[in-house]
Every structure is written in structure tokens, then in C-alpha cells.
Amino acid sequence: MVTDEISALKEKTDSIINSKDSKAAGELIEALRKEILHANDLYYNHDNPEISDYEYDMKLEDLKALEAAFPEFYDRNSPSLNVGGNALRTAGVLVKHNVPMLSLLDVFSKEEISSFVREMREQFTNPEFVVEYKIDGLSMTLRYEKGRLVMAETRGDGIEFGEDVTANAFVIPDIKKTLEGDNIPDYLEIRGEVYMEKEAFDKVNAEQEKEGKTLFQNPRNCAAGTLRQLDPAIVKKRGLSMFIFNLQEVKGMAFKTHTEAYDFMHSLGIRTIENYKVCHTEEEVIAAIDAIAEDRERLLYDIDGAVVKLNSFEERAILGNTSKVPRWAVAYKYPPEEKEAVIKDIELTVGRTGRINPTAVFTPVRLCGTTVSRATLHNQDFINKLGIGIGDTVLVYKSGEIIPKIKSVVKGKRPEGVETFKMPDTCPVCGSPLFKDPGTADVKCTSATCPAQRLRNIINFVSRDAMDIKGLGDVYIEKLIDKGFLNDVSDIYTLKDRKAALVDLGIIGKEKNTEKLLSAIEESKNNPPEKLLTGLGINNVGKNAARDIMKHFKSMDALEEAALADDFSDKIQEVEDIGEITAKSIHEYFSVAENRELVNRLKKYGVNTFIAEESAPAGDEFAGKTFVITGTLPTMSRAEASDFITSHGGKVTGSVSKKTDYLVAGENAGSKLTKAQALGLPIISEDELKGML
């Protein structure tokens, strides 16, 4: 029955679009908007959806199709341009803090804790201290008016502005949307930590892996990225949690202590930090910190320290704050988490440049929220310095709580007969001699035709940022190399002449699949030459550098001529933002005869190596404006968004600065978003970018 209704709606939508009936379109658009907004309210605010996700998605698709066909009904508040059921927001909307969200002074030794306690005892008579968990998450403030949640904001710069994340706060189960109890204040502002439990984090990463997406490094990064999502449905699905740890402001009542405020918040149904301890002496404070350390492994969530704060609000007010931190609290940071693991193997892989990369494989250990079992050993010098051998017990930690690293060997646990690992004299893939790269600690394979390098070169060549040959995945490339079809990237363009053999062997599948791939290969010949330059895999030449270089030189022949000139460095550095290191890399590439022959073969096979006469831009709406793109956009790749901007007269750069006019932000936006917020730059979504036209 539902399917019939959806089909009928789709037919009606198509009929209106085909007939260009503006009146009927306006009526249906209005009706769909009301239905979708009602569905949003039920889903996000009441947890009681009346329609399935499929029905919702189909209605939203029909609304988008109608709005695209009848732009005269554009409405910034349309649910097609917004998400969620509350306070619909734009990416990066900043709100002014009512109360600064200061950070805490970090200390790293028990001596510093003792000093803090003694200092407080010198200033006050028998002060009380509260020792509580320092949750490893993202700080957020909640504002309530007459018991209803009206605003949720992130810390932002901590002093003036944070980011409005109200819509996302409404789908976090721990956050009270409406306070309960008989003594509800007219205004209440509280601060807490948004975090992700270990189990929820593991589920998210399992889903990311299943969908072939990048895994999150740790629960904190995942929680922070999730809270900044534009779609509350994603936030709800990922399962964030929150503890409150401070009363920021309250009107109409007063409290003497932090713990009294906690008791009051509990009466309103608010979830505060668990298992806090009230202490009076230096010894009690240290004991409470040690007890938290012992609990750390058993907790369902990650903590990275313990907070020690004065309990008395009067004493806090007397001490006040510096410009950055309160004087009445400190955060004791536990030493980096280290665990013992046993080295089971040392794997050697060959990089695209021929570099041999040793990786330690050890018994799995859980660190900073994730299970790890591998860490790079960098090179032979690093291995010698630590004296690592297969069978050794080592201490493993996470650098920056993200990257697994080996700190040292536990010498007392070395089994008899274990010796420091030595790199072989020959390549683990092709058997060619290895040599040490002069001036570095790197060991490289001497063979330019090493299968490992060949595989990575071809994978890079067909990737999205390079020649973007859809359908030619890693598995097919390995098969084609193994069967002798590919020796270098130029052989890709000879596959059409060997179609019969490909079909007979079934390497790409059936004939239809083979034809589809060969067609994609032919289409790639028409790519702009910066795609080819990116695909050549020259050190320090990524897609942005390649674009700027080819825009300057216009053809691969001109670039080669400049690279082989006596003053190659000066010639290549005429390109804006291209420095000496990149110029040298380009010179070294074209100085090798095999590489020049490869480029010539590509030209011979019809691959475009010059920039055609530029056609007129689609418009000049973005003329004089500089954009930076970050995160994953809903419908466009970054390359497509970049092309969209430049085709309308704008400029796209890779870093945020005061010269940036707009930051286009998508899912999992990171440090660029933070910097743009700090600089007060306009932050827009993909829809808003398109809407600027």
C-alpha cells in the first residue's frame, strides 16, 4: 500500500514537471514541506516517527526535484535545505558565549598537584576539593529557559564564540530536552563533555569499514566530528553520550558549592560526572587521583586525567580566572598510556618510490580507545636504536593518542636466541639488490620495474585525483600485472588491442564489463593534463600543485623543457606556491630517460598532454573570491566543487588564511573548520555554495 502511494506521488511529481504546471507545483511543494517538517518533528523531537525512512527519503527526493524544476518557489527554510527538527542551522554558525568556556591548566606530576592543594590551603581555611574524571571528549554548553533546552554550543574559541549545535543536542539521549521537578529556574546554563562510549565507537568504525570509508582514529575524534555534523540523523545513529561537569549560570537561586549544584541538577534529571570524591587534604586528593587511574581500564568510556577543583563557589569567585584558565582548578593528565606487546613478525613492504617500509606486527593491545596490533619501525637505524627483534616484548603507546608507536624493548623479557632484526640485502618483492639512499636512513629497491612499485604507480595513476579511470580497481590491476598485460601505466592504453584475450581470461569479468572499462580508459585520454601530471607520481607534486604547474606551462613538452634547462629551478619556481623542493623533484623525474620515454608513449597513445584553449567560464559570480573546501560534501567530490567554483570565476586554495573569503564545509571537517571559526570567516555548506549563484 505504501509503495503504491509513493509510486503515485512520483507519477504526480513527474507529470507536474513535464507539464511545467507552476500552480500545481506550488501546491505540491507546500504540501510536501509540511509533511516533511512534521516527520522531522516526530523523529527528532519526540522519537516517534510515523513514516518509514524509505517514505521520508522518497518524499524528500520529490520535493528536491520540484524545487529544482520550479526555482521560483525557493525558500531558505525548506526542509530540503535544512535538517532535523529544531533550530535548523547552517554549517559553522557562531553564537556568542554567555559565560566563557575556559580550558583548564594541565599538570603532569603529583608534585604539581600537591603544590596546588597547598596553595589553596594557604589562602582558605580548610578548603574542600572535588576530584572527578576528566572525560576525553568535546566540551559543550547547554542553555535552558523555563526548563526547555534553547541552545547548545561548542567551546569554539572559549572566550567569545562557539558553534551552534542545538539540532544535534536534541538527539543525544543523555541531554534533557525539558527539565523535570518542582524547582525549575527561569534560566540555567550548564557545561559538560560530549563523548562516545567504547562500544559505540567500535560499532561506528565497523560500519565505516563495511562501507569502505576512512576509520576514525579514536572515540574523541569521532565524537567531535559527529557533533559538527549537519544531519542530526547521523548524530543519533552514532550514539553520543554526555556528562555535565559545571554550573555556568543560574537565575533566581544560589548555591554554595559545586556538589550542592550537582545535587540540584540531579533533581532536574540532569546527568553529571560519576563517582566524584570530596577531599580535604593533599593525601586524600592524591589518593582520589590514583583511584581514578585504577578505574580507568574498567570504564565504558575514555578518560585522560582527573580534575581537581575547589568545591566552594565563594572561594572560586575570590580567585577568579586568568585570560585562559580558572585559578581554582587544575587537570592532572595521566602519563601516555603504555602497554606491553610481543613482536610476532616484522613485515617489509615496498613503497611507490622503492622505499622499504618495516612494520612491527604484535599481539593486539587496546590504547586510547582502539585496539592496535601494528606500528611502523621506520628504518634500520630506528630498529638498531631500540634493538628490536621478532619475539621481543615491547612497550607500545600512541603518539598524540592517535598513531601507535613502539617506545622501547623490555630487555628482561627477551627470549633466548632473539636478536635485533636486520633488513635483507635484496628486495622482498622482486629480489633485486637494495641500496641505502644517500643522506637518509632509507633503504630502497634498485629495480625500476619492481612489481611492488609498479602496482602502486598504476594504482596512483588511475586514482580519482589522477586519471580517474573508474572500474580499474586494485584487484584488477594486480590480475593484469600478474597475467603480463601491464608493465607500466602506458600499457593501460594498449588494453583495447587485447580485448579478446581479456574476455577469454575473464580478468575484468564478462564482455560487457570489459567494454565498459575500455570505454572509461578511452575517455580518460581527454582528461586535462594536470590529471596526467598527478598520475605520474612525481614526488611533492599533488593534484593542486599539478593544476598550478600545467596552468603555467600549458603542455607537458613545455614542462619537460623547463625541467631539463640549466636554470630549471628558477623556471619552475615561476609557478605560484611552487618551491625549490618541488622544482628539484620535477627535474629529477624528467632527467631519467625511462620517464621521458613513458611520457612519450602516453602521447603516442593519444593521452592529452596540453591545455586546450580555455573556453569562456560559466559565469563570474565568484570573481575575486577565494574558497577553501574541507570535509566530505553531500553530492560533490572536492574536485567537482573546485571545478564548480573556478568555472564561475572563483579561486580555490588548500589552506585557510585571512585572505580566505569562504570555507565550504562538509562531513568530518577538521582543523580547517576550527581555524576558519577562529578567524571569523563565513562557513557555508554545498547547498549554500550553489545557492550563491
Three-point CA angle 420, 426, 431, nearest 5°: 140
**What is the spatial distance between Cα 131 and Cα 309, in angstroms, rounded to a whole number?**
7
Nearest 10 degrees: Cα torsion 50, 51, 52, 55 = -170
Count Cβ atoms within 10 A of the Cβ of residue 361 and give its class: 0-12 exposed, 13-18 middle, 19 or more buried.
Answer: middle
Three-point CA angle 419, 425, 431, nearest 5°: 125
Q: Which listed residue (12, 59, 110, 134) is catalytic?
A: 134
Task: Look up cell 618483492; give the residue.
Answer: 429
Active site residue 344: no
**What is the spatial distance between Cα 466 and Cα 530, in angstroms, rounded to a whole number?**
8
In angstroms, the Cα distances linking 101 to 151, 165, 223, 351 are 15, 15, 19, 46
The 3-state DSSP composition of the chain as helix, strand, coil percent (nearest 5) reads 40, 20, 40
Count Cβ atoms within 10 A of the Cβ of residue 51 and give its class: 0-12 exposed, 13-18 middle, 19 or more buried.
Answer: middle
**What is the spatial distance between Cα 339 and Cα 386, in angstroms, rounded to a whole number?**
16
**Interacting residues of 263 by C-beta distance below 8 A, sequence separation 6+:** none
Count Cβ atoms within 10 A of the Cβ of residue 581 and give its class: 0-12 exposed, 13-18 middle, 19 or more buried.
Answer: exposed
Give the residue ranges of DSSP H helices in 2-52: 2-19, 22-40
Label the pairing between strands 241-251 and 94-96: unpaired
Q: Which of 86, 369, 135 is nearest to 235 (CA)?
A: 86
**What is the spatial distance between Cα 508 and Cα 501, in angstroms, rounded to a whole number?**
11
* DSSP reduced 3-state for 347: strand
**What is the spatial distance between Cα 123 and Cα 118, in angstroms, rounded to a whole number?**
9
3-state secondary structure labels for all residues of 361-420: EEEEEEECCEEEEEEECCCHHHHHHHCCCCCCEEEEEEECCCEEEEEEECHHHCCCCCCC
Q: What is the distance, to the nearest Å, from the Cα of residue 76 to the centroid of all Cα atoms in its chain?
A: 28
* DSSP state letter for 73: G
Q: Which three cell numbers stand for residue 452?
A: 611492488
Q: Cβ(280)–Cβ(128) under 8 Å?
A: yes
**Interacting residues of 599 by C-beta distance below 8 A, sequence separation 6+:** 536, 556, 560, 609
Which positions are catalytic?
A: 134
